[in-house]
Amino acid sequence: PSHGYPGTDEIAATVFFITKLVKREDRLSKHKMEKFAAKLTTLLFEKYKDHWYLDNPSRGQAFRCIRINRQRAREPLLEQACAQSDVAFELLGLPEEMTLWVDPFQVLYSILSILSSILVVHSMEHAIL
């Protein structure tokens, strides 16, 4: 199977979605928000680089999943982005239950308070060559 490099559109959509959730809390300065977004982008590219399968987008889905819940209140990747951008994790104000699936060609999310639905953050039509 071919390993692709993580899609710029998918990672941009993921970072945009997370920062949009953070911005609604209005707890971070513009500078801190930009720094957090830049660190998160870098970390996502690094983490996903060997786990991106264009020919089988659902492969590696659990590895690429960003999840916050009662058992894991602090998602390690988000916590690392906070540490590297000098932002307190608590200031993000993210939902207590949230899942983001970052896959080739689409990004989906579920937030418990939104009727446990899975909704699309980003999707692109693609042709199989």
Distance (Å, rounded) from C-alpha 59 to C-alpha 118?
19
Whether 26 maps to a domain, the answer reads yes
CATH number of the domain residue 46 falls in? 3.90.640.90
Whether 2 maps to a domain, the answer reads no
The pLDDT tens digits of the residues spanning 18-62 come to 999 999 989 999 999 999 999 999 999 999 998 999 999 999 999
H or E, element range at 110: strand 106-111
Whether 129 maps to a domain, the answer reads no
The pLDDT tens digits of the residues spanning 103-117 come to 999 999 988 765 556
Whether 39 maps to a domain, the answer reads yes
Whether 3 maps to a domain, the answer reads no
